[in-house]
Structure 1
Amino acid sequence: MPRRANLARATRELIAGRTGDLVRAAVADIESRHPWYAALSARDRASVALVAHSGIENFVGWLAQGEGGPVRAQDIFESAPPELARSISLAQTLDLIRSVVDVVETQAAEIVGERAAPAVREAMLRYSRDVAFGAAHIYARAAEQRGAWDARLEALVVDAILRGDADEGMQSRAAALGWGATTYVAVIAGNPPTDPGSPETGAADPAYILDQLHRRASRHNLRVLAAVQGGRLITLLGGTPDALADATTLQDAFGPGPLVVGPTVPHLFAAGRSARAAISGHAAAAAWPTAPRPARADDLLAERALIGDLPARNALRSRIVRPLDQVSGGDLLQTATAYLEAGRSFEATARALFVHTNTVRYRLGRIADLTGYDLTDPHDGDTVHLAIRLARLGTAATPPATPR
């Protein structure tokens, strides 16, 4: 530690005797220079004054140690309640230290005389430097503890959503993370990024993965909760007006492979539905190698149906077959079936239905408008064809009505 001038005992006693005046001057300086002080509660303002008082007393004690004595910043902040660290930030704490330094520098000559004032100023500058480093260490340690606690809460919330346990326990944990009233929630399922430095497992450290994801989300003002579970990186988006666009923003935080976005649901406690769709889509995405990245889970309804996803099968029937069957007396469903089973040929379909090819084109346009599926697109056509087949199976599985 740099050498500092030893102050006479009488000089130290002069400073100690003016502790109250220095504290009042420091608090007045904070109040006049920093708007955040006025926004504190009366209790927190009293705590700030207590820290200032402790800091000046500690300064006097530090002077009495002579050369090389350590500065114990922890002792300064122990006088304040633990809640103060949550009320004022590190930057605001440094504002407090700066005000104490400025006051001591300004009033040094008045307190100890012109001859001893330079030594007091030099000592205060060196002391305040160590206090600032000590304060930064205290806040960093507190941030690490809060971060570890938040990570555990985050993992518990994500796990509860995946298991469908949206109970009061999850609600309280989500509220502690600031997600209690979050709306417009969607879930993303993807592969975690790999670690080139770990050839044995190829997997990056989960803590590192989540830290990088949160950093990227923070840069783009996105709210996320995430966990690595079952070999997947599961991410919840909160307050998202466009989940697919947000997933595109975050895609570099995921590893290679499919990236699937579940439907947006109204609040966190309905996120299980989005999570199940996203995970199902991620599991089935291998059946569509050219799927976009990211892809909507709803774009993978056919692939999900193939792996036995009952909600996906029901969605295919309700979104495709039922509307087509209810319009124009079933002509659209008949046309879709004929087109898909005639090799997707306009002419062959027209012959099968005894209509003009322009009628077939017109009806295919209506099908696209009604369902969102363009039968001339290979993937859309396969999806509609599968929906029709599933509907046939459902009808065949329904026992005939018993005549009365």
Structure 2
Amino acid sequence: MTRSRAQIAQRLTRASGALSSAALSRMEDDMPWVTQLPAEDRSFIGLIVQAGIKSFIDWYRNPEGAAAIRAEVFGVAPREMAGEITLEQTVAMVRLSIIVVDENLEDALGEDAESVRGPLNRYAREIAFATAEVYARYAEQRGAWDARLEALVVDSLLRGEAEETISSRASALGWDGSGKVLVMAGRLGEGGNSAGSLDDVRRLAREHRLDCLCAVQGDRLVVVLGGVDRQGRPAASVAAAFADGPVVVGPVVGSLTDARISADAAQSGLRVAAGWADAPRPVHADDLLPERALAGDRSARATLVEQVHDPLAGAGGSVLETVDAYLAHGSSIEATARTLFVHANTVRYRLRRAAELTGLTPSDARDSYTLRIALTLGRLAGVEL
């Protein structure tokens, strides 16, 4: 006797409970990870299996008028399940459910089983596409959420929000928290592809096993890197992801919650990087102290006085006087010696001493510029600082 689709669908409906139970039992036997899931997740898997079988029956009864498979099957489970169960696992569950239904068709339908197998295979393809769509949408939504959270963390760092807030949000993004931290800043440039730049930064950070948080701040790209060493290595490798133009690296700090210090220096340096025409790329914010000081950065002024002027002034032996005279006489040792009425070797000794104290070599053009600015600020310290 030939039965109509509606009649066969009715028989499938009566057998749906047994088919669902058989599929779930098979999953527990063949997929040990299913039994390790929390009870709530296992219950949602059961609902998905039941909804999948019901959806097939409805689709078989009326292929043209059936509702969207994705909504029918996966609408019963919370969106968060896509974060707990992988796409591979979900596809395996769907495949196994189809196999179990196929194996039990003869018991449920007898001679009508063969007429259902073809539609069942077509339905399997449809639900496979629906499964991929669910995970693609989840990944898109999760990616958008992560991007917003990441931008929020970077903004919080720049504004100096509470430490516990920053740490908890960064942890949600997978921030490891070990190693030193620094901040880099560069410009996006007109028409810059911010999404592409962010992706490039993250890729390079992963290649060097660095934690990474990045966000676009106006026309700037700000990157927070964790896991660097005391010298900031290998952060310089990430500079390649920035658009053309200066890239400034802030000082290394001990933890993410101290990153505000590095961020302030990096952004201050970026604002004045054009003042040093031959600056390397990337350039360290501390190497831009003269330009930052000239632009009104009080922190840079204080640093130059404390780290350059004060050590020279406290060294004794007329070291500060010698450096000042050396710079004033065109970096001529002989002219400096004549001005101070000392031997040229004495001048050389004092200049070497100055280099040891400050890390700046008076005979180097860039270092001599920094020394000039620092000595001037030191003389003005009692008035301006």
TM-score (norm 1): 0.80
| Residue aligning to 2:256 | 268
Deviation at 1:14, TM superposition (A): 7.6
- State the alpha-carbon separation in 2 of the partners of residues 171 and 222 from structure 1: 17
CA contact (8 A) 1:244 1:295 kept: no
Change (3 A) 1:49 1:392: same
The one of 129, 143, 147 aligned to 2:139: 143
Change (3 A) 1:251 1:39: farther
Question: What's the CA shift string for 1:51-101, capped at 9, x where partnerless?
Answer: 233323333333333578565122222222343222122232223223323
| RMSD (CA atoms) | 3.3
| Residue aligning to 2:24 | 23
Deviation at 1:293, TM superposition (A): 0.4
Deviation at 1:137, TM superposition (A): 1.5
For residue 204 of structure 1, give the secondary structure of its aligned residue in structure 2: coil
Correspondence list, 1:322-333, <5 A: 322-327=310-315, 329-333=316-320
CA contact (8 A) 2:175 2:212 kept: no
2:269 pairs with 1:281 = yes
Deviation at 1:122, TM superposition (A): 4.1
For residue 96 of structure 2, give the secondary structure of its aligned residue in structure 1: helix
- State the alpha-carbon separation in 1 of the partners of residues 30 and 381 from structure 2: 78
- State the alpha-carbon separation in 1 of the partners of residues 36 and 336 from structure 2: 74
Change (3 A) 1:40 1:299: farther
Q: Any unmatched runs of 5+ in structure 1? A: 195-201, 399-404
Which segment drifts farther, 281-290 or 224-233? 224-233
| Residue aligning to 1:186 | 182
Correspondence list, 1:64-213, <5 A: 64-66=61-63, 72-105=69-102, 120-166=116-162, 170=166, 173-179=169-175, 184-192=180-188, 194=189, 202-204=190-192, 206-207=194-195, 209-213=197-201
- State the alpha-carbon separation in 1 of the partners of residues 232 and 365 from structure 2: 22
- State the alpha-carbon separation in 1 of the partners of residues 342 and 120 from structure 2: 96
Deviation at 1:119, TM superposition (A): 5.4
Change (3 A) 1:353 1:24: same
| Residue aligning to 2:53 | 56
- The residue type equivalent to 1:272 in the other structure is R
Change (3 A) 1:218 1:138: farther
Deviation at 1:310, TM superposition (A): 0.9
Question: What's the CA shift string for 1:124-159, capped at 9, x where partnerless?
Answer: 432222212112222222222233333333333322
Which segment drifts farther, 117-126 or 20-29? 117-126
Give identity over the alignment, percent. Answer: 43
Change (3 A) 1:58 1:396: closer
Deviation at 1:266, TM superposition (A): 2.2
TM-score (norm 2): 0.84
Question: What's the CA shift string for 1:211-234, capped at 9, x where partnerless?
Answer: 454455445544332232242222
CA contact (8 A) 1:184 1:267 kept: yes
The one of 235, 251, 256 aligned to 2:239: 251
CA contact (8 A) 2:8 2:109 kept: no
| Residue aligning to 1:364 | 351
For residue 18 of structure 1, give the secondary structure of its aligned residue in structure 2: helix
CA contact (8 A) 1:243 1:264 kept: yes
For residue 31 of structure 2, give the secondary structure of its aligned residue in structure 1: helix
Deviation at 1:323, TM superposition (A): 2.2
Count the aligned residue pairs. Answer: 380
- State the alpha-carbon separation in 2 of the partners of residues 57 and 23 from structure 1: 15
- The residue type equivalent to 1:21 in the other structure is A
2:44 pairs with 1:47 = yes
CA contact (8 A) 2:232 2:252 kept: no
- State the alpha-carbon separation in 2 of the partners of residues 102 and 30 from structure 1: 14
| Residue aligning to 1:339 | 326
Deviation at 1:375, TM superposition (A): 2.0
CA contact (8 A) 2:202 2:212 kept: yes
For residue 78 of structure 2, give the secondary structure of its aligned residue in structure 1: coil
| Residue aligning to 2:364 | 377
Question: What's the CA shift string for 1:324-344, capped at 9, x where partnerless?
Answer: 3333x2443333223222211
- State the alpha-carbon separation in 2 of the partners of residues 65 and 220 from structure 1: 55
